[in-house]
Structure 1
Amino acid sequence: MGWFVLYTKPKSEIKVADSLRDANFEVFCPTTTVVRQWSDRRKRLEVPLFTSYVFIRIKNSERSKVFGFPGVIRYLFWLGKPAIARDEEIDLIKAWLNDDRIENIEVRNICPGDRVRIKSGPFKERVGMVQELGSKRIRLVLQELGVTVNLRLNELSLQT
């Protein structure tokens, strides 16, 4: 039995995980600590690692029970079937989060309009704007060269 992926309302991940946990479901909502700056103070906050996602270990026949909890929208689907994360993947995330050597964990999705830096190949270290995004490839506009290039996603790093 793997972990199903629940999609939640924005900023409801921790509340959903807590309410499901209180109802004796096995739930995993990976979080990380970030420092947020306001005009008058800095504050350390615990925020979800994956925005709007909570992992739940539940029998397939009992999946509909979670829809009675506030904040739960739907299950995540992949190729027409509910998305399932393997135990090894959840264990890897847990180990990664418990590693004291890792700081400032951030998961970002690449979206059209984002600026990214190319890590390898003939356009190495060039910065481009995402024009189109596929599952394995990306189309970038390199404005300084006046060209559009298609690349594999593993050749990129987000510009900071």
Structure 2
Amino acid sequence: MNWYVVYTKPKWEKKVAEQLQKIGVECYCPLVTQMRQWSDRKKKVEVPLFNSYVFVQLEDSKRNLVFQSVGAVRYLYWLGKPAIVRDEEIEVIKKWLNTSDCVDLTVASYQIGEKIQLESGPFADQKATVQEMTNTHYVLVLESLGCVLKMKR
């Protein structure tokens, strides 16, 4: 079975994932904990890693099941076909979210545009392109995941 990306209404990611699990659809909504501040207090809240996206794993013939959830809008498409996420990519996201150790990466000897392979941390063995280097951070593009990684120096 393939993993597909479902686009949701804004701020509905957790609700959609919960509704889909209730009807028996395997889904994954990666969450990160952030400190949010209001005028009267600070609080740790879990927010989706990807805004308006939930990953679902089901057979191609049962893809319409997700629309039983009120917040599911449509599937994400790539080149005219529903975008498919590989199992390895979902596992990398899960591994990254479950890792608590800090990764120190030195890319001072690299040039912008150079392709590198990450050697440690949750993205070990992933290929990336150096997009930006500043005094405070590096920006790497992880091609296989289609995302940008910003790392502190």
Query: What RMSD, in angstroms, separates the aligned Cα atoms of the two structures?
Result: 2.0
Gaps of 5+ in 1: 104-118, 122-152
Q: Which residue of 2 is the match for residue 155 of structure 1?
A: 131
- What are the equivalent positions in structure 2 for 1:26-105 lying under 5 Å apart? 26-102=26-102
SS at match of 1:66: helix
Q: Match for 1:81: what amino acid?
A: K
Q: Match for 2:8: what amino acid?
A: T
Q: In the aligned structure 2, how far is the partner of 1:43 from the partner of 1:120?
A: 40
- The question of 1:10 aligning with 2:24 is answered no
Question: 1:57-90, CA deviations, whole angstroms, 9 ceiling, x for partnerless residues?
Answer: 0110111121121100000000001001000000
TM-score, normalised with respect to structure 2: 0.68
Question: 1:92-143, CA deviations, whole angstroms, 9 ceiling, x for partnerless residues?
Answer: 100110001259xxxxxxxxxxxxxxx945xxxxxxxxxxxxxxxxxxxxxx
Q: In the aligned structure 2, how far is the partner of 1:51 from the partner of 1:102?
A: 24
Identity %: 51
Question: 1:40-59, CA deviations, whole angstroms, 9 ceiling, x for partnerless residues?
Answer: 10010000000000000011
Q: Match for 2:71: what amino acid?
A: G
Q: Which residue of 2 is the match for residue 126 of structure 1?
A: none
TM-score, normalised with respect to structure 1: 0.66
Structure of larger gyration radius = 1
Q: Match for 1:14: what amino acid?
A: K
